[in-house]
Amino acid sequence: MSIKKYISLFSMLFLAFGLSAQDDDAVTFELRLSKEKLGINERLRVEFVMNKNGDNFTPPDFEDFRVLMGPSTQISNSWVNGVRSYEQSFTYFLQPTAQGTFTIKQATVEISGEIYKTATKKVTVGPAVDKPSDEKTADDVADESLHLVAEVSKASPYLNEAISVVYKLYVSPNISVSNYHPLDNPKYNNFWSQDIPVSRLSAENGTYKGKPYRYVVLKRVVLYPQKAGKLEIEPLSLEVTVDVPTNKRDFFGQRIFTQTNKTVSAGNRTIQVKALPTAGKPANFSGAVGNFGFSVTTSKTNLNASESLQAKVEVSGKGNLKLFQLPEPNLPSSLEVYEPEFEESVRTTLSGSQGKVSNNYTIVPSFRGKYPIPSISFSYFDPKTEKYNTINSKEIVINVMKGPNNASGDGVIPSAGNRQKVQVTGDQFNFIKLKPNLSAIGTNYFFGSTCFYLWLLLPLLLIPVAILLRKKREAIAGDVAGNRIKKANRLARKYLSTAKKALGNKEAFYVALEKGLHNYLKAKLKIETSEFSKDKIASLLIQKQVDDATKDGFIGLLKNCEMARYSPFSDVQMQQDYDKASEVISQMDKQL
């Protein structure tokens, strides 16, 4: 290549760099609009942007518009690959005052001693729109992007049929949730409820009204309706802290978020509960709804008199296992039968409770013979087939091989007409002593004895004791908080005593038991707990470092008190609840 060509090439490159530098140094001053068509109830964002530092900025008069906010000034200065980028803007938010086509006139600014002007732009203002997009605040975005939903598994269940309620918080990808806490938990009136704890909160992909969302399961509960007709499920309410992105960016180019607090509610849900059909209802139906198996078994069938055996009446399967009464066996009167021991092994999932419940009877025969345990029946309603089913147990014969015979010799206690006359012999009353060894009491004088002087000095000894007792009584009278605690303790004992007297009367027993439990907490924690929910009481006991077993026992008693209003309870269950209350209070005394 010749020298002339090299010179021409370098000249062209130098000219290109010079033109590029001139373009980079060129001043720009322009008008930017958020939109050129808008409704009369929408806002218009107007920006005047320059690439050099300017002075003496003069905006137009904005005829036919009302200035809502502005001017707000923003300066952006950055370096990319060694090239400096500068931008300065003046922003206004305008509200149109009429419909029509209007002109945003020129603005002026002085840059490096020269005056620069923007071009004019036309804006068309039409009728009002339903939702002005430019007026959406962070609260508006949060309302559109955050939803709390209560998903009910079945809207029309049968009485005592399990339904599940799952509370999901749906969050749009446009926002993020940084924190939340419940404002109030639903009480589920006219339902027997069982919470299923959510061990870990994990977000999952889903859709809400056809749009992609992320959701998290906050609460799960299984409900058994205890009343037919329309029942309301109270809403769960949350206060959520939401981060909403804005159109602004920070120094590093990251989007700036604004934070707002929103209250969301799952809303009331109405459940139409169907009554159980009366046609074909067995006479021994005790309220069992689900799908069950039934059996009566004994630990042994051959034994000797005075030995014991165990008879178990067991129901297993899936349904309202905790809400019905087990049938009782009809045992011969010549068998000694103790109060049954109730056992349960039940776990609750979203599909309902499943497992088994049983009554264990201890039986002790007194005489030799054969004793039949007649067949007993158990009836339940299956909501899937919508029919009643009855299961009959097998007859069991207890064979007592060794032992005394009863009077009738057939394994039955003899009646009054078969009683035998007692044969009296001459030595039956030899144990009675007719000639006791008694000694005469000697003559003792009281005056001058040790007892005499003790009684004489006793009033002097009682003076300091009386002074101490008086001071103690004054101290007790001045201890207002202590007296209040003692009074609450007496009330707790009173109600537990009332509950004990009311054993056998379900309503009176559980009302007294519930009052006794609340008065016990009032005495120990110096607060009113009668207005607290079970969840708040459980949280309070956790704060007081009460162990889980004792806390769960206390909450379980409160649940039994509520469940007793709608479900049948046996005397055995009442006695067990009373004993459990005494045990729980004893354990909590040690820990509190």
Is the pTM value of this prediction over 0.85?
Answer: no
The two beta strands, 302-303 and 396-400, are parallel
* End residue of a domain, out of 248, 273, 298: 273
Rounded to 5 degrees, φ, ψ at 358 are: -155, 155
Average pLDDT across the chain, whole number: 81
**pLDDT surpassing 50 at residue 230:** yes
**pLDDT surpassing 90 at residue 584:** no
For residue 405, the enclosing domain spans: 290-411
pLDDT at 80: 64
Q: What is the SS3 assignment for 280?
A: coil
Assess if residue 400 is contained within a domain.
yes
Of 359, 161, 376, whose CA–CA distance to 272 is shortest? 161
Whether the upstream peptide bond of residue 71 has omega within 30° of 0, thus cis, is: yes
Residues 142 and 266 reside in one and the same domain:
yes
| Length of the chain measured in residues | 592
Across residues 480-498, what is the average pLDDT?
64
Residues 142 and 264 reside in one and the same domain:
yes
| Among 158-172, 179-193, 461-475, 510-524, the range of highest mean pLDDT | 158-172
State how far the Cα of 528 lies from the Cα of 484, in Å rounded to an integer.
12
Residues 403 and 522 reside in one and the same domain:
no
Residues 252 and 325 reside in one and the same domain:
no
- What is the count of structural domains for the chain? 4
Assess if residue 92 is contained within a domain.
yes
* End residue of a domain, out of 72, 102, 132: 132
Give the pLDDT band of residue 294 (cuts 50, 70, 90). Answer: very high
State how far the Cα of 176 lies from the Cα of 506, in Å rounded to an integer.
51
Assess if residue 369 is contained within a domain.
yes
Range with the lowest mean pLDDT among 142-156, 253-267, 372-386, 473-487? 473-487
Chain center to CA of 20: 69
pLDDT at 445: 62
Tens-digit pLDDT profile for residues 530-546: 666 777 888 888 888 88
| Among 85-89, 205-209, 218-222, the range of highest mean pLDDT | 218-222
Assess if residue 198 is contained within a domain.
yes
Residues 506 and 560 reside in one and the same domain:
yes
CATH number reported for the structural domain that contains residue 566 in this entry: 1.20.120
pLDDT at 136: 63
State how far the Cα of 226 lies from the Cα of 562, in Å rounded to an integer.
12
Q: Which residues pair with 389 in a beta bridge?
A: 380
Assess if residue 11 is contained within a domain.
no
Q: Which helix (H) or strand (E) holds 356?
A: strand 352-365
CATH number reported for the structural domain that contains residue 302 in this entry: 2.60.40
Of 147, 67, 161, whose CA–CA distance to 384 is shortest? 161
Say which DSSP state 282 is in. Answer: -
Residues 208 and 118 reside in one and the same domain:
no
Say which DSSP state 414 is in. Answer: -
Range with the lowest mean pLDDT among 183-187, 459-463, 522-526? 522-526
Residue whose token pair is 């840059």: 111
Residues 118 and 200 reside in one and the same domain:
no
pLDDT at 430: 55
pLDDT at 177: 86
Assess if residue 460 is contained within a domain.
no
Helices (H) and strands (E) in the chain, counts: 8, 30
Residues 126 and 150 reside in one and the same domain:
no
Residue by residue, DSSP assigns 140-152 as HHHHHHEEEEEEE
Assess if residue 443 is contained within a domain.
no
| Among 13-22, 97-106, 389-398, the range of highest mean pLDDT | 389-398
Q: Could you give the C-alpha distances from 225 to 191, 272, 521, in angstroms and in order?
A: 4, 10, 30
Tens-digit pLDDT profile for residues 331-346: 888 888 999 999 999 9
Tens-digit pLDDT profile for residues 250-268: 666 677 778 888 888 888 8
Residues 531 and 562 reside in one and the same domain:
yes
Residues 253 and 145 reside in one and the same domain:
yes
Of 328, 332, 323, 324, whose CA–CA distance to 376 is shortest? 328
Assess if residue 536 is contained within a domain.
yes
Residues 100 and 191 reside in one and the same domain:
no
Angle at 360 between CA 356 and CA 366, to 5 degrees: 160
* End residue of a domain, out of 355, 377, 411: 411
Across residues 440-466, what is the average pLDDT?
76
CB of 162 closer than 8 Å to CB of 226: no
Residues 64 and 158 reside in one and the same domain:
no
State how far the Cα of 478 lies from the Cα of 435, in Å rounded to an integer.
64
Tens-digit pLDDT profile for residues 162-211: 999 999 999 988 888 888 888 877 888 899 999 998 888 888 888 888 88
